[in-house]
Amino acid sequence: MTPRPAQGVWVAPGRVNIIGEHTDYNDGYALPIALPQVVTCTATVTTDAVVQVSSKQHPGQPTRVPLRELADSPISGWARYPLGVVHEFLRRGHALPGVRLEIDGEVPVGAGLSSSAALECAVALAVRDLFELEVSTRELIDIGRAAENSYVGAATGTLDQSAALLGTAGHALFLDFATGEHEPVPFDLAAAGLQLLVADTNTPHRLTDGGYGQRRRECEDAARELGVHSLRAVTEPDELRRLPDPILRRRAHHVVTENARVLTVVDLLRDGSDPRTIGPLLVGSHTSLRDDFEVSTPQLDAAVQAAIDAGAHGARMTGGGFGGSIIALVDTDRVDAVAAEIRERLHARGFASPRLFVAVPAAGARRTA
């Protein structure tokens, strides 16, 4: 019998969401891509009943917590994400003798590109494989979500973990959160003479600060008043007239129309349409997130408008909002001009200089050594 390896290396990617924002916890649809930028976890079996966590990005903050004390650990900050994942394995009845987790990350933190889910998924995959646990990919997604919801305190859905674990190179990932079904959708922009430009506005968002959780509660309240299990059950915006509260009506309107936009984008890409045709839907998504869901910022709005003014076929904020990044669908020969306009527009408004790069669909989480 081959002995179980005592160490290994796993990676999980960040993600860009093409469209489908704040739909995951409403049982809706989304269309993310996994990014080439990854979080790396080197995991080693130990026998001291302790979880040890260290990070190259935080060299002065190594953490050691006895497994029996994980449930009540007061540790905060970045280390709470991997600790939460280990705690979730233990809570679900998986016995671990101890583990050392060494983290290295290249996904920008706070940029709305899901560095947290990349960290959770790299650790979750490492723990499962290292200890040969009978845990499905679907349960790994839920372990990451549970760690972020219950241990970290961010009321997110499963979009980010799904993208990190299920993404495939050259494809976007169509997610149906009501059924758990997923489908790769061709997303070869280069063949169409296009690129997906990402502009991180350098305004870090923090999903634990309350705004995200408030939006989730508002969506739940709207569904309850409409007498449905989730807003996924509502397909016609006219049905929302039954909501007397204008705030709940706007929140629900975003979710209902965003689900429709995702389905339209997926149909266009499946049919081999020119990807430029999805541009107006990206703009519509941003407008809805700005006006109905109220999760955009002046920096995100300025970057989106700059991209459109410079010739982008479409642009929108991506991620949970309250800061972070935008995406812009741009002809390859216009990328530099659009990037320059975004930089100049943000500088003119006195905002921080953005970080810009081109995103391509990459592979999901995997073992590399």
pLDDT confidence of residue 352? 96
- Enzyme catalytic residues: 160
Residue 1 pLDDT exceeds 50: no
Q: Is 1 inside a domain boundary? A: no
Q: Are 112 and 205 in contact (CB under 8 A)?
A: yes
Question: Cα-flanking dihedrals φ and ψ of residue 129, to 5°?
Answer: -70, -40
> Are 297 and 158 found together in one domain?
no
> Are 156 and 287 found together in one domain?
no
Residue 24 pLDDT exceeds 80: yes
Q: Is 2 inside a domain boundary? A: no
The total domain count for the chain is 2
Q: Is 348 inside a domain boundary? A: yes
> Are 114 and 144 found together in one domain?
yes
Q: Is 232 inside a domain boundary? A: yes
**pLDDT per residue as tens digits for the range 28-82:** 999 999 999 999 999 999 999 999 999 999 988 889 999 999 999 999 999 999 9
**pLDDT per residue as tens digits for the range 67-120:** 999 999 999 999 999 999 999 999 999 999 999 999 999 998 888 889 999 999
- 4 pLDDT tier (thresholds 50, 70, 90): low
Q: What is the mean pLDDT of the chain?
A: 95
H or E stretch including 261? helix 246-270
> Are 77 and 144 found together in one domain?
yes
State the maximum Cα–Cα separation within the chain, in Å, rounded to a whole number: 66
> Are 111 and 254 found together in one domain?
no
In the chain, the DSSP E strands lie at 7-19, 29-45, 50-55, 58-66, 99-105, 171-176, 182-186, 194-200, 314-318, 325-331, 355-359, 366-367
Question: Cα-flanking dihedrals φ and ψ of residue 317, to 5°?
Answer: -70, 150
Residue 115 CA: distances (Å) to CA of 206, 225, 227, 326:
12, 35, 36, 16
CA pair distance 165, 347, nearest whole angstrom: 37
> Are 148 and 268 found together in one domain?
no
Burial of 122 (0-12, 13-18, 19+ CB in 10 A): buried
Q: Residue count of the chain, please give it.
A: 369
**pLDDT per residue as tens digits for the range 228-264:** 999 999 999 999 999 999 999 999 999 999 999 999 9
> Are 191 and 319 found together in one domain?
yes
CA pair distance 123, 127, nearest whole angstrom: 6
Residue 100, token pair as written in the block:
């050392």
Mean pLDDT confidence for 314-329: 96
CATH number, domain containing residue 105:
3.30.230.10
pLDDT confidence of residue 3? 54
> Are 282 and 339 found together in one domain?
yes
**pLDDT per residue as tens digits for the range 127-158:** 999 999 999 999 999 999 999 999 999 888 99
CATH number, domain containing residue 201:
3.30.70.890
Name residues whose C-beta falls within 8 Å of residue 314's C-beta, 6 or more positions apart in sequence: 278, 279, 280, 281, 282, 283, 308, 328, 329
Domain encompassing residue 192: 187-359
Residue 200 CA: distances (Å) to CA of 11, 164, 189:
22, 19, 20
Residue 208 pLDDT exceeds 70: no
Question: Cα-flanking dihedrals φ and ψ of residue 45, to 5°?
Answer: -70, 135
> Are 259 and 170 found together in one domain?
no
Q: DSSP secondary-structure letter at 241?
A: G
Residue 191 pLDDT exceeds 70: yes
% residues pLDDT > 90 (the chain): 92
CA-wise closest residue to 270 among 174, 164, 162, 160: 174
**pLDDT per residue as tens digits for the range 162-179:** 999 999 999 999 999 999
CA pair distance 332, 291, nearest whole angstrom: 30
- The torsion of the CA quartet 29, 105, 336, 364, rounded to 10 degrees, works out to -40
**pLDDT per residue as tens digits for the range 334-353:** 999 999 999 999 999 999 99
> Are 210 and 128 found together in one domain?
no
> Are 60 and 202 found together in one domain?
no
Q: Are 28 and 177 in contact (CB under 8 A)?
A: yes
pLDDT confidence of residue 204? 81
> Are 221 and 242 found together in one domain?
yes
